[in-house]
Homo-oligomer: A and B are copies of this chain.
Amino acid sequence: MDFNDTHQESEFRATCRGWLEKNAQLKGGTGNDERYGRVDEHDFLNSARAWQKKKFDAGWAMLHWPKHYGGLEASAIERIIWGQEESKFNVPRGVYEIGLGMAGPVMMQYASDQQKARYLPPMAAGEEIWCQLFSEPSAGSDVAGLRSKAVQDGDDWIINGQKVWTSGAHFCDYGIIVVRHDPNIEKHAGMTFFFVDMKSPGIDIRPIKQITGGSSFNEVYFNDVRIPDSQRLGAIGDGWRVAITTLMNERLAVGDANGADAKEAFEWAQGQDDHGQPMIKNSGVRESIADWYCQASGLKNTKLRTMSALSKGDTPGPEASITKVVSANKLQAIGNFGIDSLDMAGMLKTDDADVHSFHDAWLGSAGLRIAGGTDEILKNIIAERVLGLPQDPRADKGLAFKDIPSGN
């Protein structure tokens, strides 16, 4: 047990760090912290584009990719080292993650060499932004219950239907999409996977207003949208197999809930309560902070164990499923604690950054417990994949998709 890099790792870290120091600013310090305050979307996209391009030019954008697509053929542990170092710098985030994390691997595995040469470099360079189009109004936890239709028409496919929860659809150039080409066969067999030009005629994008007031997700309507068969990824009927790897990537990638954590609760509790005593003197508050600290620390150390496995070349298991369950629920509890600590005044929206972060936590956590796999789905995954418990009986097993009970 030690937390030191190997010699090789340490050299790699120094290289990352050197480049980052030249090209970005360390977090903290003077007013760089974007914790509070919204940035104009247009400006933010421009700054994200610029940063992505800079990284691409230096090879960092998709460092594990082959060199001819702009990568460095880096190892898993090197990716993590890069990620650790980059996270210490104040750089724009949130625009490219889905495209690079989900569309990237699928294109790499299923697209033709010609398509890869055409699409991968601009994806990595941030010149083209990608989104994913999986969820539908009647297909949430049960993604494979999707109903959007693809009908073959000569060398094209014609897509009709509705997708939801598409992050960034309104500024994306391309999307990966899974649709149903045959409702008359078993549900998982009737799907096919494509990539689609988001500027195609017939695509209508509408923002979804969330309970936080934000609208980072969209509904995407497809009305007779035409996709050439050459944009099919995988065989006809292989859509689920292609999608499932992508989904696992998503569910594993959905990490720690951002926002107030044990540390913030601890710092907040240094403030005074109604009797002029620091809240931290209250033994109930102390117990809560101890619990949150143990959870936060447990997640951090679980990540270190995962990295240890990666560092040795092992493949980590589905343990990462616990991160979101634990951190989203912790966030909800901490948000609630922060608000309640203000007593009657806790209801007020104020300019105070801490109060603001507790309000955000309390509202946002309600969504985090759902997005990218609900608490319930993730616990199923743990029970079935980690503990080996048997599946729930499947009411949809062996039925043609059109015959599966849907309540309608």
B residues near A393, Cβ cutoff 8 Å: 393, 395
In the assembled complex, the Cα of A283 lies from the Cα of B287 at a distance in Å of 10
Across the interface, name the chain B residue whose C-beta is closest to A395: B393
Chain A 276-298 near chain B by CB (<8 Å), digits 1 or 0: 00000011111100000000000
Counting chain B CB atoms within 10 Å of each CB, the highest count among A284, A285, A395 belongs to: A284
Residues in A13-59 with C-beta less than 8 Å from chain B: none
Residues 278 to 337 of chain A near chain B (Cβ within 8 Å): 282-287
- The interface residues of chain B lying within 8 Å CB-to-CB of A282 are 283
Residues in B with CB closer than 8 Å to A285 are 283
Whole-angstrom distance between the alpha carbons of A283 and B283 in the complex?
A: 5
Which interface residue of A282, A283, A285, A395 has the most chain B CB atoms within 10 A?
A283
| Residues of B contacting A395 in the complex (Cβ-Cβ under 8 angstroms) | 393
Q: Mark A380-407, 1 if CB is under 8 A from B, else 0.
A: 0000000000000101000000000000
Closest B residue by C-beta to A288:
B284
A287 nearest in chain B by CB position: B284
- Chain B residues lying within 8 Å of A284, measured Cβ to Cβ, are 283-284, 286-287
Docked Cα-Cα span, A283 to B284, in Å, equals 5
Give per-residue flags for A142-173: 1 if the beta carbon is below 8 A from chain B beta carbons, else 0. 00000000000000000000000000000000
Query: A122: shortest Cβ distance to chain B, in Å?
Result: 49
CA distance A61 to B286 in the complex (A): 54
Q: Across the interface, which residues of B come within 8 angstroms of A286, CB to CB?
A: 284
* Docked CA distance A285–B393 (Å): 44
Cα separation A282 to B282 with both chains bound (whole Å): 8
Q: How far is the CB of A279 from chain B (nearest CB, A)?
A: 10
A284 to B285, CA, bound (A): 8
Give complex CA distance A393, B286 in Å: 45
State how many angstroms separate the Cβ of A297 from the closest Cβ of chain B. Answer: 21
Complexed CA–CA distance, A393 and B284 (Å): 43
Query: Could you tell me the distance between the alpha carbons of A395 and B285 in the complex, rounded to whole angstroms?
Result: 47
Inter-chain contacts of A287 with B (CB < 8 A): 284
| A279 vs B191: C-alpha distance when bound (angstroms) | 63
Encode A240-283 as 1/0 by CB contact (under 8 A) with B.
Answer: 00000000000000000000000000000000000000000011
Which chain B residues border A283 with CB–CB below 8 Å?
Answer: 282-285
By beta carbon, the residue of chain B nearest A282 is B283
**A56 nearest CB across to chain B (Å):** 51
Q: How far is the CB of A64 from chain B (nearest CB, A)?
A: 44
**For window 120-135 of chain A, which residues contact chain B by CB distance below 8 Å?**
none
Known: A283-B284, A393-B393, A393-B395. 6 other contacts (CB 8 A): A282-B283, A283-B283, A283-B285, A284-B284, A284-B286, A284-B287
Q: List 9 A-B contacts (CB under 8 A).
A: A282-B283, A283-B283, A283-B284, A283-B285, A284-B284, A284-B286, A284-B287, A393-B393, A393-B395
Interface residues of A (CB under 8 A from B): 282-287, 393, 395
7 smallest beta-carbon distances between A and B, as pairs: A283-B284, A284-B284, A283-B283, A393-B393, A284-B287, A282-B283, A393-B395
